[in-house]
A and B are shown apart, each in its own frame.
Chain A
Amino acid sequence: GAGVSQSPRYKVAKRGQDVALRCDPISGHVSLFWYQQALGQGPEFLTYFQNEAQLDKSGLPSDRFFAERPEGSVSTLKIQRTQQEDSAVYLCASSLRQGHQPQHFGDGTRLSIL
């Protein structure tokens, strides 16, 4: 596609439910990133993939957060047993190559936990 596509655009879940957020990066982009953005703040790094390999997951807040990119293209961020503090916008970005490249962002998924 022309840009990074994320779905769903909005997600409302009850506390304790599991959610899955999808990211379709720009075709051919090797690197894929997940960020979490709280209201009024800058994005915070969660995890990074190079092709199908998850090279950095240091930003994942807890073991309830899990990300995968099994075939090196589409990625899924899963949050288990959601908590209210998980409410945020989850942004996905991709870049053509590894290292010091422009990152192109999707519109994000706005997650609200009730």
Chain B
Amino acid sequence: QQPVQSPQAVILREGEDAVINCSSSKALYSVHWYRQKHGEAPVFLMILLKGGEQKGHEKISASFNEKKQQSSLYLTASQLSYSGTYFCGTETAAGNKLTFGGGTRVLVKP
């Protein structure tokens, strides 16, 4: 079953913050986050393994709450380059296959 992402879309001014959520009904082992720009490959941002750790990539960070089977991606002081569609991909303990959410479209305006 596909993880649910929210919101579906968000519009930001440069410098503003945003949070994207990813929820699953399955027991997860890891959550991956990707950003995809139109017509391009999804680009890997970070992977979070169960344990609730938080990771960062530039001013983008994420957390994973394994009790809630939920991950959140934090866009801090957003830049124009952050525009794109963000996907979470979830893995069970069996691994080797990502199940992606429907995506969150982010538009950062000057």
Contacts and interface: CB of A to CB of B under 8 A. Distances in A.
Co-complex (A, B): yes
B96 A98 contact: yes
A55 interface: yes
A33 B87 CA distance: 17
Contact of B87 (A42, A48, A107): A42
Given A41-B103, A108-B41, A102 B32 contact: yes
- Determine the main DSSP class of A at the interface with B: loop
Interface in B25-60: 29-30, 32, 34, 39-44, 47, 49
Contacts of A107: 39-41
B47 A100 contact: yes
Interface size class of chain A, counting residues whose CB lies under 8 Å from the partner chain? 20 to 34
Nearest to B105: A40
Given A102-B44, A105-B41, A48 B103 contact: no
Interface residues of B, number: 25
B102 interface: yes
A56 to B, nearest CB: 6
Interface string A1-37: 0011000000000000000000000000001010100
A55 B96 contact: yes
Contacts of B103: 40-42
Contact of B29 (A35, A41, A91, A100): A100
A45 interface: yes
9 contacts: A33-B98, A40-B103, A42-B87, A50-B96, A91-B42, A100-B91, A105-B41, A105-B42, A107-B41
Given A43-B100, A50-B96, 15 more contacts: A41-B103, A42-B87, A42-B89, A44-B100, A45-B97, A56-B96, A91-B42, A98-B95, A99-B96, A100-B29, A100-B95, A103-B44, A104-B44, A105-B42, A107-B39
